[in-house]
């Protein structure tokens, strides 16, 4: 099953566009978890056990593992093999380098580690993207309109054709294997709708819903248009403000699974 078909399969299997972000911040762990690399493993293991039947994808933020050095990468490897089938594994690594270096970043994430896809920065142009999409069974999401406020400083620069539109054009032109998509922040709905209108076939990875305050309705609408999208929630699932862990996490995941249904009623 190639990447495009597997992507769609994972969404259909859960009937939802939900992507659960794995951002294990030890300062936010509930009582009972060690605030070290062992605690990271125990916490994420519990999250996977609690939510795997509800989420179409897991987005692992590599910063929260790399901060622990080689021990963190060992934990990451162990956790990845524990994830059941029919869940897209996304490396939120935001890699972007010259072609030769990018080739080895792609090999590390998509061959040595069992990720299906990775986030990629386009600032160095198409050479930084191509190594991630040479295999039609693997894919990438390219940063286009990010959810953070200061992203506008570059992404909206350029007058009649802002940089984010040029980025989307490059992604469209490189998408021969249908294994490329765009990172589009829910906190910027006007740009989200603009890019969907101009690039109706590209999948979107949409962060910013939940703790960052991005709107659900627009995110859900653009995913339903082509059936290929993921709406990411990290802190809004991992760190509930009320209830007892892990039942409170389970309840939030169930709520988001239903809220992000891929059925357009």
Tell which wins on pLDDT, 160 or 236.
236
Q: State the architecture of 3-259 in CATH terms.
A: Alpha-Beta Barrel (3.20)
- The share of the chain scoring above pLDDT 70, in percent, equals 97
Q: What is the pLDDT of residues 123-157, one digit of tens each?
A: 999 999 999 999 999 999 999 998 887 888 677 78
Beta strand spans in the chain (E): 18-22, 57-61, 88-95, 117-120, 139-145, 180-184, 204-206, 229-233
Average pLDDT over residues 93-112: 95
pLDDT tens digit sequence for 163-190: 999 999 999 999 999 999 999 999 989 9
pLDDT at 265: 45
* Cβ neighbourhood burial of 117 (10 Å; 0-12, 13-18, 19+): buried
Measure the CA–CA gap between 140 and 142, rounded to whole angstroms.
Answer: 6
Q: Is 112 buried (19+), middle (13-18) or exposed (0-12) by CB count in 10 A?
A: exposed
Q: How many CB atoms lie within 10 A of CB 125?
A: 12
Name the residue among 145, 190, 209, 147 with its Cα closest to residue 171.
Answer: 145
Strands 139-145 and 18-22, sheet pairing: unpaired
What ranges do the domains of the chain cover? 3-259
193 Cβ partners below 8 Å, 6+ apart? 218, 222
pLDDT score of 33: 98
Give dist(CA 140, CA 176) in Å, integer: 13
Indicate if the pLDDT at residue 239 is higher than 70.
yes
Average pLDDT over residues 198-223: 87
Mean pLDDT of 252-263: 94
Answer for the pair 206, 200: CB distance below 8 angstroms, yes or no.
Answer: no
Instruction: Output the pTM of the full model.
Output: 0.95
Active-site residues, by number, are: 94
* pLDDT of 41: 98
Q: Please give the pLDDT value at position 154.
A: 77
**247/228 Cα distance (integer angstroms):** 29
pLDDT bucket at 210, cuts 50 / 70 / 90? low
The listed range with the strongest mean pLDDT (99-113, 138-152, 205-219) is 99-113
How far, in Å, are 146, 191, 201, 202 from residue 197 at the CA level?
Answer: 18, 10, 9, 10
């Amino acid at each position: 099953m190639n990447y495009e078909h597997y992507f769609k399969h994972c969404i259909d299997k859960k009937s939802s566009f939900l992507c659960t972000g794995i951002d294990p911040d030890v300062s936010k762990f509930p009582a009972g978890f060690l605030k070290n690399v062992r605690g990271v493993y125990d916490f994420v293991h519990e999250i996977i056990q609690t939510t795997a039947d509800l989420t179409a994808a897991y987005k692992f933020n590599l910063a929260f593992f790399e901060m622990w050095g080689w021990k963190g990468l060992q934990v990451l490897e162990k956790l990845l093999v524990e994830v059941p089938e029919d869940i897209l594994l996304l490396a939120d690594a935001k890699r972007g380098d010259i072609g030769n270096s990018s080739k080895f970043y792609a090999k590390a994430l998509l061959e040595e580690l069992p990720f299906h896809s990775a986030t990629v920065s386009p600032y160095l142009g198409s050479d930084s993207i191509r190594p991630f999409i040479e295999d039609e069974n693997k894919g990438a999401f390219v940063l286009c309109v990010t959810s953070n406020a200061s992203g506008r400083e570059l992404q909206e620069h350029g007058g009649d054709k802002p940089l984010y539109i040029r980025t989307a054009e490059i992604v469209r032109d490189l998408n021969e294997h249908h294994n490329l998509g765009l990172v589009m922040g829910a906190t910027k709905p006007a740009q989200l709708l603009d890019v969907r209108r101009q690039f109706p076939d590209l999948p979107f990875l949409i962060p910013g819903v939940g703790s960052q305050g991005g709107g659900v309705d627009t995110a859900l609408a653009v995913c339903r248009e082509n059936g290929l999208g993921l709406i990411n929630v990290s802190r809004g699932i991992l760190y509930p403000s009320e209830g007892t862990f892990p039942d409170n996490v389970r309840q939030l995941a169930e709520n988001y699974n239903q809220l992000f249904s891929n059925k357009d009623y």
